[in-house]
Chain A
């Protein structure tokens, strides 16, 4: 290993920050908005990449944690007028606590049973807004007012500032998660993921590791929800549907669960593919019901094809291409693996595209 891991992680994050700044200045306001959107998704999806890829659990309800973060931020900005960074911190703390509660409840559950509970959580939690319309605004939701800070001058584009704020949070989250994944915590997660009994025998507190993974992923989702509140200017139950929760898991898997880069690719897909397909469809003068649904259908096809052609997700494909050109060593942060609840009963054709990534021993510790 040529460079220390921390240096490499920080370097990658700095390159990411530079790309964001350059793009946000070069591109128009709508693209700035999309950058912010991608950053929001990356933050939430990275938490799921860790939860599913590293600790082997699944959540179909992280949209619920986004809702908690979003409503927390909206309430704080509305009633207390705190700066956004403070509301972000409060949102992170509250969603961490919520994640701990769900994690404790989920620690005994596996596979589809965990999926079922988290899915129902994603459906049920936003309906609290209807139960407490006075506080949470009911169906209409709460309006969030967010402006650029004074020192930037009044002419600084709001969307560019939002893209910067969100990207900074997203990159910071990625750096922390990357380090966490390399630490003892991350190794415990992998041990629990691969074999719970062996991990327990080796002295890993399985329940604590699983709950902690839920806390981390919920915190990420909560921060994403807080950012979503300021970039859309509104929190309403309609923004935190089950579709959102499913899109988050989809992004994590399609990007590649083995690596945090996967969260970035996956987020780019779920934000950009529908918009791009809409542009193509409307520019061909199709009727509105057709034009608005072609992107939906195309998105479905993309999901199916990526999963069939690149079983390890987009990051798997990227590594495969890099290795084809001899650029990358076969190193990976952690090998892709997903929770295994039993062998599939059907015919199991040998996967030709499977990127086999031997898990090298970690350098330090």
Chain B
């Protein structure tokens, strides 16, 4: 029973990281109908920047803030330089461009920082919390991880719902042509979407790296699970991304805990197949309307 509680709590902590990646993918998908394969690579790169800042200033929070800022810059730059020119060409081209971007970032990280594993500091203590005499299996830092992603998701939700910028983003995602006709600068909205996605990715990178170490490919697995979470939830639904991330995180935590870490990918495949068999466009998809 204690074990079950521990697996659940640590699953929630990891699930929130998947949720952050999933949310960033959803933001980009809604704006550009494009899967950003560079999302993990961008997160990896901004985390390297955070390490450098922490090393030079000695302050974790300086690195944290710089990483988030770098995420915004990287997301914006990627959209403006390589993504915008590719929109309107065959869709797979944009996907391959994001793959090219991922490979470029991994290569650059290797050139600048080398390929060796680096440890990354955590903001808070990583020793396990206890309730009375029972170990909970999570640390103060895990609580921070979950809270930070939850806060970011709530901020986004509130921003989408109650600000005019959020309304513009929803309008552009709902129908780009109509949005453009009503005076919304859709291209700018898309850039903002990429910037926010870059920020969320950077957040995920900083939060996950204390437990995974940092190396040029360190975010690959996180990206795959984040993508899986987004697909489970439905790529059009930010709420679905968070739910999908939590669901995947908890189930994978049980699978890893009870069955061994070598089966986690197989279990993730199983969940994905079962859910998409029932709902081919994710849990939170709208009624299926296929264009004819």
Contact pattern, B 201-238, Cβ under 8 Å of A = 1, otherwise 0: 00000000000000010001100100110110001000
Instruction: Report the bound CA distance from A295 to B104 in whole Å.
Output: 9
Contact of A304 among B101, B190, B224, B273 (CB under 8 A): B101
A344: which of B33, B230, B269, B277 is its contact (CB, 8 Å)?
B33
Q: Determine if B186 and A346 form an interchain contact, defined as CB atoms under 8 angstroms apart.
A: yes
- List the A side residues contacting B33 at CB < 8 Å: 341-345
A242 touching B224 in the complex, CB below 8 Å, given contacts A112-B35, A113-B231, A116-B231: yes
Residue B97, interface by CB 8 Å = yes
Interchain CB contact (< 8 A) of A242 among B104, B216, B220: B220
Residues of A within 8 A of B104 (CB): 296-297, 300-301, 304
A302-322: CB near B (< 8 Å → 1, else 0) gives 111001100110000000000
Q: Does A137 contact B (CB under 8 A)?
A: no
Flag if B96 contacts A250 (CB, 8 Å): yes
Q: When the two chains form their complex, are residues A300 and B269 in contact, meaning their CB atoms are under 8 A apart? A: no
In the bound complex, what is the Cα–Cα distance between A110 and B235 (angstroms)?
12
- Asked if B272 and A120 make an inter-chain contact with CB atoms under 8 angstroms apart, the answer reads yes
Q: Find the A residue at minimum CB distance from B106.
A: A296
Within 8 Å CB of A109, what residues of B?
276, 280
List residues of chain B with CB within 8 A of the CB of A117. 231, 269, 272-273, 276
Q: Which of A300, A351, A354 meets B103, CB within 8 Å? A: A300
- Asked if residues B269 and A342 are in contact (CB atoms below 8 Å), the reply is no
Identify which of B105, B220, B292 contacts A197 (C-beta below 8 A): B292
How close is B186's CB to chain A, nearest CB, in angstroms?
Answer: 6
Given contact pairs A346-B84, A346-B88, A346-B176, A297 touches B97 in the complex (Cβ within 8 A): no
In the assembly, what is the distance between CA of A52 and CA of B96, in Å? 14
Supposing A105-B273, A307-B86, A344-B88 touch, asked if A131 and B266 sit within 8 A by C-beta, the answer is yes
* Cβ distance A50 to chain B, nearest Cβ, rounded Å: 15
Q: How far is the CA of A295 from the CA of B111 in the complex (A)?
A: 10
Q: A112-B35, A344-B32 are in contact. Are A300 and B100 (CB under 8 A)?
A: yes
Docked Cα-Cα span, A220 to B111, in Å, equals 36
CA distance A294 to B112 in the complex (A): 10
> Is B167 close to A, CB under 8 A?
no
Q: With A and B bound together, what is the CA distance between A246 and B106 in angstroms?
A: 15
Partner of B96, one of A131, A254, A339: A254
Interface residues of B in 30-48 (CB under 8 A from A): 31-35, 37
Residues of chain B within 8 A of A124, CB atoms compared: 265-266, 268-269
- Per the bound structure, the CA–CA distance linking A295 and B108 in Å amounts to 10
> Is A121 at the interface (CB under 8 A from chain B)?
yes
**Are the CB atoms of A351 and B88 closer together than 8 Å?**
yes
Contacts of A257 in B (CB 8 A): 90, 92
How close is A55's CB to chain B, nearest CB, in angstroms? Answer: 14
Please name all residues of chain B whose beta carbon is closer than 8 Å to the beta carbon of A254 when the two chains form the complex.
96
> Please, which residues of chain B bring their CB within 8 A of the CB of A235?
none
B127 — which chain A residues lie within 8 A by C-beta? none
Residue from A119, A242, A303, A344 whose CB has the most chain B CB atoms within 10 Å? A344
Interface residues on chain A, size class: 35 or more
Does B69 sit within 8 A of A, measured CB to CB?
no
> Is B110 part of the binding interface, using a Cβ–Cβ cutoff of 8 Å?
yes
Given known contacts A109-B280, A300-B102, A341 and B91 CB-to-CB distance under 8 angstroms: yes
Name the residue in A124, A246, A249 with the highest tally of chain B Cβ atoms < 10 Å from its Cβ.
A124
> CB of A36 within 8 A of chain B?
no
Identify whether the interface residues of A are mostly helix, strand, loop, or mixed: helix
Contact across chains for A119 and B89 when beta carbons are under 8 A apart: no
B159: Cβ under 8 A from any A Cβ: no
How close is A356's CB to chain B, nearest CB, in angstroms?
A: 13
**A346-B190 contact given A112-B235, A292-B110, CB 8 Å threshold:** yes
Contacts of A112 in B (CB 8 A): 29, 35, 231, 235
Q: Which of A108, A120, A301 contacts B280 (CB 8 A)?
A: A108
Provide the bound-state CA to CA distance between A302 and B82, in Å.
12
Q: Does A152 contact B (CB under 8 A)?
A: no
Which residue of chain A has the shortest Cβ distance to B261 in the bound complex?
A: A130
Enumerate chain B residues within 8 angstroms of A110, measured Cβ to Cβ: 280-281
CB–CB A289/B280 < 8 A:
no
A272–B273 Cα gap in the complex (Å)?
Answer: 36
Cβ-based interface call for A148 (8 A): no
Residues of A within 8 A of B59 (CB): none
Would A307 and B93 count as touching, CB distance under 8 A?
A: yes
Q: Is the CB of A131 within 8 A of B228?
A: no
Q: How far is the CA of A302 from the CA of B94 in the complex (A)?
A: 14
Which residues does chain B contribute within 8 Å of A146, judged by CB atoms? none
Q: What are the residues of chain A within 8 A of B86 when measuring CB–CB? A: 307-308
CA A346 – CA B34 in complex, angstroms?
A: 11
The answer on a CB contact under 8 Å between A308 and B32 is no
| Contact of A28 with B by CB under 8 A | no
Q: What's the least CB distance linking B228 to chain A, in Å?
A: 6
Q: What distance in Å separates the Cβ of B174 from its nearest Cβ neighbour in chain A? A: 9
Q: Who on chain B is nearest to A64 by CB?
A: B269
Q: Which residue in chain A gives the minimum CB-CB distance to B220?
A: A242
Residue of B nearest to A303 (CB): B100
Could you list 6 examples of A-B contacts with CB < 8 Å? A112-B231, A113-B231, A127-B263, A289-B115, A300-B103, A341-B91
- 15 more contacts with CB within 8 A, not counting A304-B82, A345-B172, are A112-B231, A120-B272, A121-B269, A124-B268, A131-B262, A296-B106, A300-B107, A301-B104, A303-B99, A311-B90, A343-B176, A344-B176, A345-B186, A346-B88, A348-B87
The 10 A-B residue pairs with the shortest CB-CB distance, nearest first, are A297-B107, A300-B104, A303-B100, A293-B110, A348-B88, A296-B107, A345-B176, A116-B231, A300-B103, A130-B262
